[in-house]
Amino acid sequence: METPDLFDFDDPETEEAAPPPQRRPGRPSVPQLRPGSGIWSAGERVAWVAGLILMLSSFMGWYSGSSVEGPTLSVTGWHTGTIGKVVFFLGLALVVLAILREAGIELPPAVPESLVIIAIGSLATILVLIRVISIPDTFAGTSGRSIGLWIALVSALAVIAAGLLRAGEDL
């Protein structure tokens, strides 16, 4: 004896044709992005944008002040020595990491990408904090900290936050 099947999916009598989705006239359909897909997930987006800003902050004014003659002087992060150049290349590494991920090249499974992003952000934060605390002696006339240094600090902290977001997305 055979037990009856409560849900017979192969029976054409029970299948009802679903009505096609109705579109409102005059409104084009907008494709919906899936959450967590590609470059548009929150952690990835914050990581590459913060990396780009960190990279560009090396070319912004980190120190400013007035000279004896009167004009205002400004020193970019690139010209503050090795630390400014390392901050640039850390930001570049974040952008390259995002580009490679979109191209289909990923890190080995033993090295989580979120950990790499957090490490790069921590190193960038430490280096920028060194420049916030210690102004190089060669720029004695420019004793004021300029906006580029603060942008670099905020973007380095945003890289750490992006790494933490990525770690949360991976769970």
Task: Let me know if residue 13 belongs to a domain.
Answer: no
Other Cβ atoms closer than 10 A to 63? 23
Assess contact for 58 and 93: CB atoms under 8 A.
no
DSSP assignment letter at 2: -
User: Could you tell me how many residues make up the chain?
Assistant: 171
Q: What pLDDT does residue 135 have?
A: 81
Q: Look at residue 108 and tell me if it is in a domain.
A: yes
Q: Is residue 142 part of a domain?
A: yes
66 found inside a domain: yes
In-domain check, residue 33: no
Total structural domains within the chain: 1
pLDDT digits (tens, 9 = 90+) for 37-60: 554 478 888 999 999 999 999 999
pTM: 0.72
Buried b (16+ CB within 10 A) or exposed e, 12-43: eeeeeeeeeeeeeeeeeeeeeeeeeeeeebeb
Q: For the chain, list the strands marked E by DSSP.
A: 61-66, 72-76, 144-145
Check residue 33 and give its pLDDT: 46
Distance CA 120, CA 148 (A): 19
Specify if 8 maps to a domain: no
pLDDT in tens, 105-133: 888 888 899 999 999 999 999 999 999 99
CB of 149 closer than 8 Å to CB of 131? yes
Question: For the ranges 32-36, 46-50, 141-145, which has the lowest average pLDDT?
Answer: 32-36
Instruction: Tell me the residue range of the domain where 108 lies.
Output: 40-170
- Categorize the per-residue pLDDT at 171 as very low, low, confident or very high, splitting at 50, 70 and 90: confident
Q: Residue type at 14?
A: T
Q: Does 129 map to a domain?
A: yes
- With respect to residue 34, please indicate whether it lies within any of the assigned structural domains: no
